[in-house]
Structure 1
Amino acid sequence: HFPDHGILAEEGGSSKKSSGFQWIIDPLDGTTNYIKNIPVFTVSIAVQEDSQIIAGVVLNPIQKELFTALKGEGARLNEQPIKV
């Protein structure tokens, strides 16, 4: 729990806080596809520190794919390193 972190959410607006950290959240990336029952959508979450993205997660629940990335540590797909 990080009450001093800001939040920017596509469906919910934004809140700025003093810590320099901001969470960027798109709980349903691909809303149109989801509404039309097209199984191509994701959940996307990232965190930035002082305007630089330092971590990100994208979940594709239909394909059971979890993409993660940490600044300086590379990216992974379902915990396996990938090259981007």
Structure 2
Amino acid sequence: LMVGLQVERYLEERSFIDFPKTTAIGSLSYYISNYEGSNFQPMNVNFGIMDPWPQKIRKKKEKNALIANRALEELDALTRFF
């Protein structure tokens, strides 16, 4: 989906959409593009590769819900580019 959107924008000579690392697609594309180790291992998206929540949250379920809601809000803000 992300590649399709970017190709469409390229063909229309529009600027690319920069998905932030606080979103699932942004963090996964960042992980793939910026891996610096010697033994790259593909992975599915997970909360571990997304930008962390700024404050310490003890309950994992609560922290993940906050991260997920932040990602949805940022994706909503990006819809103006589509």
- Name the TM tier (shorter chain): under 0.3
Q: What TM-score does the superposition give when structure 2 sets the normalisation length?
A: 0.23
Richer in helix (by share): 2
Q: What TM-score does the superposition give when structure 1 sets the normalisation length?
A: 0.23
> Which one has more relative contact order, counting CA pairs under 8 Å at least 6 apart?
2
